[in-house]
Chain A
Amino acid sequence: MSDKPPIITFENITKRFGKMVAVDNVSLSVQEGEFFSLLGPSGCGKTTLLRMLAGFETPTEGRILIDGEDISSVPPNKRPVNMVFQSYAVFPHMSVADNVAYGLKVDRVPAAERNRRVEEALELVQLGGLGGRKPDQLSGGQRQRVALARALVKRPRVLLLDEPLSALDAKLREQMRTELSTLQEKVGITFIMVTHDQDEALALASRCAVMNRGLLQQVASPNDLYEFPNSRFVADFIGTVNLFEGVLAVDEPDHAVIKSPEISTDIFLDHGVTGASGGVVWAAIRPEKIELHKRPEGSTAPSMGDAPPGANAVAGTIRHEAYLGGESIYEVEIGGGRRIKVKRSNLTRWDQEDFALGEAVWLCWHACSPAVLLS
């Protein structure tokens, strides 16, 4: 990360509503130009954190800095941030142009410049020529663009987005996702987005903060969050995961072995584990990182090459299949009633027909695939 001072800093922020702790001692900083995402299940405190940044809630403890300045005592209408609300909050009694011009009128921007900037902002969100419309003549997607234009026209230091895509249907959501990220590249403003949708966060954000029950769980790039989660919560929340509870039987600098009562094979890793103190650990293996092979009568476990023979391979039986078009998700029973999810890409037209319910299979994975979780 750069040496520049962060644009936003949360310092030990705690927010309590009565006895309920919504945000619990969160410290976090966001760099200029980032597309930062606050991600977590509903009620995890992400929206409260965003609303504290906008000024609609006051932290119970801690400080929020924008460009190094404490803004705790600055009212929302004096903060250099603007927000796109989940409900869009487009003023229903004003035309689209008046909605966008509202913030500029407050700032006493001269009429000529104001009109030019409103027109520019509407063009930016592809609403050029619709300035005269009333909000009730717009679709949901268009209303959201109005909310975006209205916030961006103020040229804020940071744009806050509260669940920006949650109210749109699936197709439109995908389209807006792309548009949001091009928009951010174009205007170069720092975006902070709250979402409960992990796909959305992974697709858009340059960095994500995962929250759970008011606590910050992990801050990392989407790739690191997915591949190197730091806890069972993050591994499970971001995508799907197969978790095996066990102990570290071997822990050398260049390899490690986890033995779990839940699975009959050794889980071999091509790296050592740091910070493990001999207690319980969890191996997390993503469904798409597990290979499926036919298991004819009397066959031996396939060798993965990077693992000792017999490790990272287990026999199972296919119990369920979900065909999703581009891929299929199999549930494979590996004994003891334990089922493992395996995702398989449909590379050819006939791939999904390779495995049938009840078929005997081998499951195997590479030594670099499992992630070791200590909590």
Chain B
Amino acid sequence: MELSWTKAKAVFAGALGPPLFWLVLFFLVPLGIVWAYSFGHNVGLTEISFTGTFANYARAIEPLYLKIFVKSAWVAGLTTGLCLVVGFPVALAITFASEKAKAWLLLLIMLPFWTNLLIRTYALIAVLRTEGYVNMSLGWLWHGGGLIAALLGLKPIGDFQPLELLHNNFAVILGLVYVHLPFMVLPLYSALDRLDRSLLEASLDLGAGQMRTLFRIVVPLALPGIASGVLITFIPALGAYLTPDLLGGPDSQMIANVIERQFKRANDWPFGAALSFVLMYLTFIAIAIQALMSRRSPEAR
């Protein structure tokens, strides 16, 4: 039966129907309800009346919350930048590894996905906390250094002061980079792997060194991959909740933490809904910018 699958209406509907139904019922409808909440206000403890007010949005862009939005964007941006700097050489190394090593390296990149985010974050806590592995190792080194100093007859260097590595912005960024690195590496890898190797050889052949080849040939041709890597790292990082909650200090809360508090402790669902939608609009803007950029570069095709 050589029938185009778009023409086989029954098959088409049968294949598309269930997932479509699922999405509408459990995604679009709840989203619509939350969207409606954002235009209402609390009456009593559980009642919300839909008044069509924009008061929640007005409050969402007050300086207090705007600052958190800006900070979230900043943290997500820094995370994305670090992921790009760390991820590009990794993706490049995988691209040029032998076929056998390639499969193993990609597996290593994806391995963290097999572990729950919560467990991975707690593991980071174990590494970073005051009595954690980093401070323990540094302590040993310090102690060893002290012994050598004593042997050489130098002045004692004093006790080791553990570094404050947890519950601050540093920990949040480190955690976000750790969690999001695979999202950056995979699209970069797929872009670099598609690159025609003879282009690199041509660049070398014409006298260019490795660095010039990297920045004049590889990076420009990998731009579509870089753009999609940046986007799918930035968006989840912008809405990060667990990482700043567990690794951050009092000054490192991000917008998702504020939203969570509106729905739970503050019990202000309409305002939480408004904040959520502002976050979503920001995400749409990011996607639109990426789409515009990829349209402007014709070689991205």
Q: Which residues of A contact B (CB under 8 A)?
A: 54-56, 75-78, 81-83, 85-87, 89, 91-93, 102-103, 106-107, 134, 136, 147, 150-151, 154
Q: Are A107 and B201 in contact (CB under 8 A)?
A: no
Contacts of B299 in A (CB 8 A): 92-93, 134, 136
Please give the distance in Å from B26's CB to the nearest CB on chain A: 43
* Contacts A134-B298, A136-B299; A89 near B208 (Cβ below 8 A): no
A-B contact pairs, 16 of them (CB 8 A): A54-B205, A56-B201, A75-B204, A76-B204, A77-B204, A77-B206, A87-B198, A89-B202, A91-B202, A91-B203, A93-B297, A93-B299, A102-B208, A103-B207, A107-B207, A134-B298
Contacts of B198 in A (CB 8 A): 85-87, 89
Q: Are B201 and A103 in contact (CB under 8 A)?
A: no
Complex formed: what's the CA distance from A156 to B205 in Å?
Answer: 11
Interface residues on B, range: 20 to 34
Complex formed: what's the CA distance from A91 to B298 in Å?
Answer: 13
In the complex, the 5 A-B pairs of residues with the closest C-beta atoms, listed nearest first: A103-B206, A89-B202, A89-B198, A106-B207, A93-B299
In chain B between 247 and 301, which residues have their CB closer than 8 angstroms to a CB of chain A?
A: 297-299
Complex formed: what's the CA distance from A240 to B198 in Å?
Answer: 35
Please give the distance in Å from A8's CB to the nearest CB on chain B: 16
Contacts of A76 in B (CB 8 A): 201, 204-205
**Which of B207, B208, B299: most chain A Cβ within 10 A?**
B207
Please give the distance in Å from A103's CB to the nearest CB on chain B: 4
Q: Are A82 and B206 in contact (CB under 8 A)?
A: yes
B189-213 toward A: CB 8 Å interface, digit per residue (1/0)?
0000000101101111111110010
Complex formed: what's the CA distance from A326 to B84 in Å?
Answer: 63
Please give the distance in Å from A306's CB to the nearest CB on chain B: 54
Contacts of A54 in B (CB 8 A): 201, 205
Complex formed: what's the CA distance from A147 to B205 in Å?
Answer: 12
Complex formed: what's the CA distance from A102 to B205 in Å?
Answer: 11
Q: Are A154 and B206 in contact (CB under 8 A)?
A: yes
Contacts of A89 in B (CB 8 A): 196, 198-199, 201-202
Number of A-B contacts (CB under 8 A): 68
In the complex, whether B90 has a CB less than 8 A from a CB of chain A is no
Smallest CB gap from A51: residue in B: B201
Contacts of B206 in A (CB 8 A): 77, 82, 102-103, 106, 150-151, 154
Please give the distance in Å from A198's CB to the nearest CB on chain B: 25
In the complex, whether B89 has a CB less than 8 A from a CB of chain A is no
Smallest CB gap from B217: residue in A: A91
Complex formed: what's the CA distance from A159 to B206 in Å?
Answer: 12
Q: Are B196 and A77 in contact (CB under 8 A)?
A: no
Smallest CB gap from A79: residue in B: B205
Complex formed: what's the CA distance from A91 to B205 in Å?
Answer: 13
Q: Are A82 and B205 in contact (CB under 8 A)?
A: yes
Q: Which listed residue (A77, A87, A93) contacts B205, Cβ 8 A?
A: A77
Q: Are B212 and A85 in contact (CB under 8 A)?
A: no
In the complex, whether B220 has a CB less than 8 A from a CB of chain A is yes
In the complex, whether B221 has a CB less than 8 A from a CB of chain A is yes
Smallest CB gap from B220: residue in A: A93
Contacts of A136 in B (CB 8 A): 298-299
Please give the distance in Å from B200's CB to the nearest CB on chain A: 9
Complex formed: what's the CA distance from A103 to B204 in Å?
Answer: 9
Contacts of B199 in A (CB 8 A): 89, 91-92
Q: Are B205 and A83 in contact (CB under 8 A)?
A: yes
Contacts of B203 in A (CB 8 A): 91, 102
Complex formed: what's the CA distance from A75 to B221 in Å?
Answer: 24
Contacts of A92 in B (CB 8 A): 199, 221, 299
Q: Are A106 and B208 in contact (CB under 8 A)?
A: yes
Smallest CB gap from B206: residue in A: A103
* Contacts A89-B196, A92-B221, A93-B220; A77 near B201 (Cβ below 8 A): no
Contacts of B298 in A (CB 8 A): 134, 136
In chain B between 204 and 239, which residues have their CB closer than 8 angstroms to a CB of chain A?
A: 204-209, 212, 216-217, 220-221
Please give the distance in Å from B175's CB to the nearest CB on chain A: 36
Contacts of A134 in B (CB 8 A): 298-299
Please give the distance in Å from A99's CB to the nearest CB on chain B: 9
Complex formed: what's the CA distance from A103 to B207 in Å?
Answer: 6
* Contacts A82-B205, A106-B206, A154-B207; A87 near B220 (Cβ below 8 A): no
Contacts of B216 in A (CB 8 A): 102
